[in-house]
Amino acid sequence: MPKIVDHDRYRKELLQGSLDLFAERGYGSITMRQIAKGLGVSTGTLYHYFPSKESIFMQLVQELCEQDISSFFAQAPEAHTLEERLQAVMAFVVQNAQFYCQQLVLWVDFFQQTSPSDEGEIHFLRQVWDRTRGTLADYLQLTDPALVDFIVVFIDGLILQHIYSRVYEQGSKDTAWLHQQSQLMIRMILHHEQNFPQPQT
């Protein structure tokens, strides 16, 4: 009778735990020993669950993708106006800024580590993004793809600045700043909608 462990469940726990580590030091700079130590296991155990460092990273990227927005729409509030819906989305982003920062950093790493020939991995990411964009468009009830792209671009930029904000000692670009910028963006979208209303579906 073997030691009873839910292999797959434990693997995902390790994956979850390694997110912080990869995000903080980067794929190329973190070592397996550091990961093992950070997770509180031995290197041997790590290799019992993952065949290689690359595999941990790739599985982590995939795991993250699956959590992405599903968690938002599980708690998304009913909202009748575009403004309310935008507020809900941005509130969610601001609230999970920390998480998105890590995801962003991981993706940049991912693109450095991946050669264009790794079609499998890249194709997977593409699907996730397309789906995310679609879900967002549906929730916001926006039909203009360019407008959805605009929102995505803005969110990405916001997250990136949040990463950079580590530079500003007293955190002048903290949650308040994220909120302020979000409001600015929402106002702009609303004005834009007023002037160039969406065709009704």
Partner DNA sequence: TATGAATGAGTATTCATTCAT
Partner DNA sequence: CATGAATGAATACTCATTCAT
Of 34 and 172, nearer to DNA (C-beta) is 34
Residues 110-169 that bind its own copies (CB under 8 A): 111-113, 116, 122, 125-126, 129, 146-147, 149-150, 152-158, 160-161, 163-164, 166-168
Tokens found for residue 104: 């962003």
Query: Which listed option, DNA, its own copies, none, makes contact with residue 152 (CB within 5 to 8 Å by class)?
Result: its own copies
Are 6 and 31 in contact by the 8 Å Cβ rule? The answer is no
CB of 104 to DNA, least distance (A): 22
By CB under 8 A, tell whether 24 contacts its own copies: yes
By CB under 7 A, tell whether 31 contacts DNA: yes
Of 6 and 66, nearer to DNA (C-beta) is 6
Are 198 and 136 in contact by the 8 Å Cβ rule? The answer is no
By CB under 7 A, tell whether 22 contacts DNA: no
By CB under 7 A, tell whether 25 contacts DNA: no
Q: In this chain, which of 48, 99, 114, 150 binds DNA, going by CB under 7 A?
A: 48
CA angle 170, 175, 180 (to 5 degrees): 110
CA angle 111, 112, 116 (to 5 degrees): 60
Q: How many CA atoms lie within 13 A of 103 on its CB side?
A: 19
Residues lying near its own copies in the complex (CB under 8 A): 24-30, 104-105, 107-109, 111-113, 116, 122, 125-126, 129, 146-147, 149-150, 152-158, 160-161, 163-164, 166-168, 177, 180-181, 184-185, 187-189, 191-192, 195
Residues lying near DNA in the complex (CB under 7 A): 1-5, 7, 10, 30-33, 41-45, 47-49, 51-54
